[in-house]
Amino acid sequence: MAGWAVGQVLRRTAPIGRDVGATADLILTSGNSPEQGPADATLRLAVFTDYRCPACRHAFHALEEAVERDSKVRVIYKDWPIFGPPSERAASIALACAEQ
C-alpha cells in the first residue's frame, strides 16, 4: 500500500517527460551533417545510423522509397557509430567523402 501511495504522489508532483525542443533544433539545424532533399521541405528527418548496423542497412531502402514518394522531406544523416572503432572509422570516411 505504501508503494502505491508514493506512486500516486510522484505521479501528481513529478514532471513527466522533458522539453527536448532545444536539442531537436540543434540536431536539425547544426549544418555539419550530410543532408538530402529540398531546402523548403515540410518535414526534416534526422536519421541516426551506423555503417556496420544490419538493421540500419536493412531499413535504408525503405526509408529512401518513402522519401522519394513524398518530395517534401529533407533527410539529415547523423552518424552514430555504436559498433566500436571500425564504425567510427567508417563514419569519419563517409563524412570526409561528403565534404568533397
More confident residue, 3 or 79: 79
Residues 87, 73: Cα–Cα separation, whole Å: 27
pLDDT class of 12 with cuts at 50, 70, 90: confident
Superfamily of domain 24-99: Glutaredoxin (3.40.30.10)
List phi, psi (to 5°) of 47: -115, 115
Q: Report the share of the chain in percent with pLDDT over 90.
A: 35
The amino acid occupying position 65 is: E
Whether the predicted model's global pTM rises above the 0.95 cut: no
What is the domain partition of the chain in residue ranges?
24-99
The pLDDT assigned to 8 comes to 79
Stretch 13-26: mean pLDDT, rounded? 72
The pLDDT assigned to 21 comes to 74
The pLDDT assigned to 50 comes to 92
Q: Using alpha carbons, select from 50, 46, 48, 49 the residue that is nearest to residue 31.
A: 46
Instruction: Centre a 10 Å sphere on the Cβ of residue 39 and count the other Cβ atoms it contains.
Output: 6
